[in-house]
Amino acid sequence: MKLILIIFPLLFIASCTHGPNSLPAKSEISTQSQNSLNDSLFSRQYYFRTMNVIESFPLTNDISGCLIGVLERDLNTEHHDIKDSIIEAYRFDDMVYGKPRSRRHGTQVVSIIAAQKNDNFGIAGLAPECKVIAGLFGRPAVEGKSRKEYLQDYETIIEEKTIQLIKYLVDKGCKVINYSFKLGNMSSNMFDYAIENDVVVVLGAGNDNKEDIRYEKLDSVILVVGGIDQNNKRWEERYEILGEEKKGSNYGSYIDVVAPANNLFLCGEASNTSYTIRRKGTSFSAPMVTSLVALIRSVRPDLNAAQVTEIVKQGADDLGEKGWDKYAGYGKINFYKSLNLAIAWPEDNRDSHLLTDNRAGGGVRNK
């Protein structure tokens, strides 16, 4: 069984200095310290340390954040920790929204990127300096359809809606788009409009603990993110449902980089002050990379998508066998190293600094 626990507001009040009725006044919000943040659950956000995020704070102090697009089913736009970061949530008239459960995944994903930082409350996002536009594809309407017909049509409809949402987010000016869903049988071309318009797309590799060859068709500018655990090993574990089913990060020739995928404390959908604990999956690794891409594009808006993705890979900390490998890609993302690389990236002859897929002494990526 999935270990999903929701901390409802009462429990949250008991565990935090500030409950929902005692939110900090603006004047109480202290300036950011070099080593820590005052968010109540910050001590549980181990990935700020393991991805060198804290060291990178001085590099992004005065940025004007770029726009981030997030594709989701739905989300809780009123959650206290993320509401100020979401400037729009686009919904279709002909899709179904509204069940609280359908808002869980989106709320969690957005909170990794955009939760308010250093506000004495909840968690800190990795890029709250940037604003989010959520493109929400909901669920297809079921009226008049059998379950079989619904399932047959599901991917076709979601693919069509995803293409429309990508165009919407790109035309709105988003510089990076997060897609924390399975590619399934949907076309790898559905991201083409983003690529043609120099927008970086970030995908989670999936949680099936296998090589999923469908990802091999993706354009090389798309970043595919695998998941690791707190010990820098590929995230992998066993659930016991109807016997034994193994779950873990997918892997293969398409993995670009990895980021933490387990034991994550995230905003919840149950109320505007709820949090979910110990969440897991590559759905949450992807928005960590999306956050880094957004910060890079904010400090260097002149760089193109290929250069930005290169900076993410070059700054990564190699894991496992030397060089690129199919489990860790180029390694674990490192905010401090990649943001420093971005700041130092030359303004002219930039393409001459692009890496090929051959790293000295390392493996060769097949994509």
Residues that bind Ca ion (CB under 5 A): 39, 81, 115-116, 119, 121-122, 318, 320, 325, 328
Q: How far is the CB of 30 from Ca ion (least distance, A)?
A: 13
Q: How far is the CB of 253 from Ca ion (least distance, A)?
A: 14
Do residues 90 and 132 touch, judged by C-beta distance below 8 A? no
Q: How far is the CB of 331 from Ca ion (least distance, A)?
A: 6
Q: How far is the CB of 239 from Ca ion (least distance, A)?
A: 27
How far apart (Å, rounded) are the C-alpha atoms in residues 125 and 110?
8
Q: How far is the CB of 232 from Ca ion (least distance, A)?
A: 11
Question: Which of 161, 367 has the CB closer to Ca ion?
Answer: 367
Q: How far is the CB of 161 from Ca ion (least distance, A)?
A: 31
How far apart (Å, rounded) are the C-alpha atoms in residues 73 and 103?
7
Q: How far is the CB of 25 from Ca ion (least distance, A)?
A: 15
Closest-CA residue to 226 (of 250, 200, 246): 250
Do residues 115 and 128 touch, judged by C-beta distance below 8 A? yes
Question: Which of 121, 265 has the CB closer to Ca ion?
Answer: 121
Task: Catalogue the long-range contacts made by 230-233 (C-beta closer than 8 Å, 24 or more residues apart).
Answer: 230/46, 230/50, 230/260, 230/262, 230/263, 232/50, 232/319, 232/332
Question: Which of 202, 257 has the CB closer to Ca ion?
Answer: 257
Strands (E), the chain: 5-7, 67-72, 86-91, 95-96, 131-136, 139-140, 176-179, 200-204, 223-228, 236-239, 245-248, 257-260, 264-267, 275-279
Determine the residue type at 80: H
- The pair of three-digit structure tokens given for residue 115, joined into one six-digit string: 């939760």
Q: How far is the CB of 39 from Ca ion (least distance, A)?
A: 4
Question: Which of 122, 138 has the CB closer to Ca ion?
Answer: 122
Question: 268 in the Ramachandran plot: left (φ > 0), alpha (ψ -120 to 50) or beta?
Answer: beta
DSSP string, 94-126: TEE---GGGGHHHHHHHHHHHSPSSSSSS---S
Do residues 259 and 225 touch, judged by C-beta distance below 8 A? yes
Question: Which of 352, 356 has the CB closer to Ca ion?
Answer: 356
Closest-CA residue to 332 (of 183, 214, 230): 230
Question: Which of 72, 81 has the CB closer to Ca ion?
Answer: 81
How far apart (Å, rounded) are the C-alpha atoms in residues 122 and 227?
24
Question: Which of 106, 138 has the CB closer to Ca ion?
Answer: 106
Question: Which of 29, 95 has the CB closer to Ca ion?
Answer: 29
